[in-house]
Structure 1
Amino acid sequence: MAWIVLVISGILETVWAIALDRSHGFTKPWPTTVFAVALLLSMAGLGYAMREIPVGTGYAVWVGIGAVGTAVVGMTWLGESTSVARILCLVLVVAGVVGLKYFH
């Protein structure tokens, strides 16, 4: 259960990062609200997951999911640059996250 909560929390990290960008410095109420709710849920889930998962593994997986998710959203929907090198780097991050799960 802790791993499922950790993955969901990582996805919520992507949500709050994108909402933070869209809030334009907390000047837009809806993205600011989405940011705050997603941030609280993401942190609560991370805290819950770390009851069973060591902090180094849990935090690295959480950040990895959030970073890859945010980069993918940026490249696919927000017009950020896409290159083979960027995609390869994201694949390496995913491999690291999977490795942390399996060698936990």
Structure 2
Amino acid sequence: MAWVILIISGVFEAIWAVALGKSEGFTKLVPSLVFVGGLIISMIGLAWAMRDIPTGTAYAVWVGIGASLAVTYGMVFGAESISWMKVLLLTGLLGCIVGLKLVES
């Protein structure tokens, strides 16, 4: 269950990261509120998952999921350019995240 919570928490990390960018320095209300909500949910989930998953592994997976989803969101909605190299690097990042789960003892 800790891994499921960690993955969901990583998704919320991407949500708050994207919302932070859209808040324009907290001058837009709705993205600022999404940022705060996403941040709280993400941190609670990360803290909960760290009860059963070692800190380094949990943090690396959380950041990796959040970063890869934030970049993917940017590529899908036009804020980031799309290239085969970026797709390859994101695939490698996701492979490393899965690898951390597979070697978890």
Q: TM-score, normalised by structure 1?
A: 0.98
Match of 1:102 in 2: 102
Alignment partner of 1:8 is 2:8:
yes
CA displacement 1:29-83 (0-9 Å, x = unmatched):
0000000010011001000000000001100000000010000000001331111
Alignment partner of 1:35 is 2:35:
yes
Q: Which amino acid aligns with 2:48?
A: Y
Secondary structure in 2 matching 1:24: coil
Match of 1:75 in 2: 75
Aligned residues: 104
Q: Which amino acid aligns with 1:33?
A: L
Extract unaligned runs of 5+ from structure 1. none
- Mapped to 1, the partners of 2:22 and 2:61 lie a distance apart of 25
Aligned-residue sequence identity (percent) comes to 50
Extract unaligned runs of 5+ from structure 2. none
Q: Which amino acid aligns with 1:27?
A: T
- Mapped to 2, the partners of 1:103 and 1:78 lie a distance apart of 36
Q: Which amino acid aligns with 1:38?
A: G
Match of 1:88 in 2: 88
CA displacement 1:4-35 (0-9 Å, x = unmatched):
00000000001001100110000000000000
CA RMSD of aligned residues (A): 0.6
Alignment partner of 1:56 is 2:56:
yes
Q: TM-score, normalised by structure 2?
A: 0.97
